[in-house]
Amino acid sequence: MSLGSPERNLKLNPNGRIYEAKSVSSLWVKTWKTTPRIDCGLCGSANCSGFARALVVGDLDLAACPLLKLPKYSELIEELEALRKRSPTLVAKPAAKLPEGGVLFTRPCQDTDEKVMAELRVFNGVPEGIPLRFGVFDPKLLCDLMDCVASGFELVRCSRDLGYGRAEINDMSITFMQDGRINMRRVSDKKEVLDLFNRLEQSLLGAAICNCCGNDLLSVLSGIGEMPKNQHPVLSAGSSTSLDLSVVESPPSMDDYASAFGSEGFSICESVKRATAFLRDSLAPRRGHNSDTAKPPPDLGLSFCNAVELAAESKDNRTLTMALMTLGLLRAVENGIQGILEFRSTIDQSPEHDPSALAELMTSTRDGRLECSGRLPGPLVELVAHLSRVNQAIRLLSDWGWLT
Ligand code: SF4
């Protein structure tokens, strides 16, 4: 099966209507693509992917996203309504049995018994038989994380539409599926299978979806989301590893993180400091809020990938939990940087906004106390949404004690 041509898998649902099994996941992908995709969190979900999942299962309705009320998104509303109507035909699949250590089987390869093939399963915390509302992996985040492990392989391909990825090196190939299965072909021996699985699982675990809220593990771990942390089933995720919940309850300080991960950890902390300074400087009162006066944004892409590598190399549950939590924080800060850039660009395109209202919004965002609840004034909704991304990052940094 190639990346571009998934096998068709037709099934009959209890209502007698034929649907494609793969449509369950593709409906969420289509719904996500039809959201504003700015990850502001104003709807109560951590990001637009979480909103799309909550929308499809009926946990949220379209009114939860204030952006969709803007004329520029009117077409999205129509498409989302149409997608939403399809959701009652979906049937939640029960979660599969968790094999010991995540290994479904290992056996000699068919063409050479000097190598082995294996199938393994990443666990997202949902016990066997419980309806799996959203699948195991968020396809986009899975691919973002896979991009970060690409340097260890000769070839990495990942489909954000299908939640299907493939990595190859020498003779060996590994496929990743949205339902949590990982297939390996032509691996040297069982020990290599287990070592590889453990590293890959630790790199990709952040893309696991929480069965209760529909948010991804990185968002839950970093502290974005509504529910008390100990009620998210995804915190039990991990087939060959597990999280240390005492770390989740008390986020690591910068010093803890740097001392756990040495020079790489220190360098990631320095990047976060530069990004934080950029966010706060960008929100400092200045005449006209003109983007000409703004500094270029720091690029957190390399730090993000380095943090994925640190997660893969973690030797115990405590450091893995710290690594994944910090990955979630980096993603929030990166989203905050994108938010401030889009805020500036929106202002430049529509300079009619009241400068004093903008200054007030920016000041409260700079302190992480932007008030986003209640009715938002129409013309400001989009600007508030972008500032909400910044506010979310600053609030997390403050909660973690990383606001320098
Ligand atoms: S409120 Fe923000 S995060 Fe939620 S769906 Fe709308 S744009 Fe996305």
| Single residue among 206, 241, 276 that ends a domain in this structure | 241
**In a shared domain, residues 190 and 298:** no
105-140 residue pLDDT tens: 999 998 887 899 999 999 999 999 998 888 899 999
**In a shared domain, residues 225 and 282:** no
- Residue count of the chain: 404
pLDDT at 267 over 80: yes
Confidence class of residue 321 from pLDDT cuts 50, 70 and 90? very high
- Ligand 1 mean position to 389 CA, how many Å? 10
CATH of the domain at 42: 1.10.15.40
| Residues 257/268, Cβ–Cβ less than 8 Å | yes
Q: Ligand 1 test: best mutation among 28, 32, 34, 51, most atoms within 8 Å of CB?
A: 51
Task: Kindly give the interhelix angle for 48-56 and 23-33, rounded to the nearest 10 degrees.
Answer: 130
Confidence class of residue 294 from pLDDT cuts 50, 70 and 90? low
Ligand 1 close to Cβ of residue 43 (< 6 A)? yes
**In a shared domain, residues 123 and 41:** no
- Ligand 1 mean position to 248 CA, how many Å? 25
Ligand 1 close to Cβ of residue 335 (< 6 A)? no
| Percent of all residues in the chain with a pLDDT value above 70, rounded to a whole number | 87
**In a shared domain, residues 16 and 64:** yes
What's CA 138's distance to the chain center, in Å?
A: 7
User: Does pTM surpass 0.85?
Assistant: yes
The whole-number pLDDT of residue 374 equals 61
215-231 residue pLDDT tens: 999 999 998 876 555 58
Q: Ligand 1 test: best mutation among 31, 39, 386, most atoms within 8 Å of CB?
A: 39
Q: Ligand 1 test: best mutation among 31, 45, 49, 60, most atoms within 8 Å of CB?
A: 45
Q: Report d(CA 211, CA 121) in Å as an integer.
A: 17
**In a shared domain, residues 169 and 304:** no
Ligand 1 close to Cβ of residue 342 (< 6 A)? no
Ligand 1 atom having least distance to the Cα of 68 = 6
53-79 residue pLDDT tens: 888 888 888 999 999 988 888 888 888
Put residue 2 in one of left, alpha, beta given phi > 0 → left and psi -120 to 50 → alpha: beta
The identity of residue 161, as a single letter, is D
Q: Which domain holds residue 364?
A: 254-400
Q: Kindly report the average pLDDT of the chain as a whole number.
A: 86
84-108 residue pLDDT tens: 776 655 667 888 888 888 999 999 9
